[in-house]
């Protein structure tokens, strides 16, 4: 059983979504893809649950923090 709050790294996110790196970062800037979570001074990842929500419905996904 997978932990939905697990932090996943860039390669995993790209493999699961099929997006290119540049497209993913553009979508983050637009608020249509989950934002990164800082996990250390030089590291970041994404919440697996947020990426899974995007995968389930990429067309209507809106990042809640970007809407503010």
Q: List the chain residues with pLDDT less than 70.
A: 1-4, 64-68
- In this predicted structure, what is the pLDDT of residue 62? 85
DSSP symbol at 45: E
Q: pTM for the whole thing?
A: 0.83
- Dihedral angle at the C-alpha atoms of 8, 49, 65, 59, nearest 10 degrees? 100
- In this predicted structure, what is the pLDDT of residue 24? 97
- In this predicted structure, what is the pLDDT of residue 68? 45
- In this predicted structure, what is the pLDDT of residue 5? 86
Question: What's the order of all strands across the beta sheet hosting 7-8?
Answer: 7-8, 44-47, 37-38
- In this predicted structure, what is the pLDDT of residue 43? 94
- In this predicted structure, what is the pLDDT of residue 3? 60
Q: Smallest Cα–Cα separation from 2: which of 12, 10, 17?
A: 12
Question: Which pair of tokens denotes residue 28?
Answer: 């983050």
CA atoms within 13 A on the CB side of 18: 3
């Amino acid at each position: 059983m997978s932990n939905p709050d697990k932090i996943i790294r860039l390669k995993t996110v790209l493999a699961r979504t099929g997006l290119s790196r540049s497209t993913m970062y553009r979508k983050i800037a637009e608020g249509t893809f989950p934002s990164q979570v800082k996990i250390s001074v030089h590291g970041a990842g994404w919440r697996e649950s947020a990426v899974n929500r995007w995968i389930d419905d990429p067309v209507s996904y809106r990042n809640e923090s970007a809407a503010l």
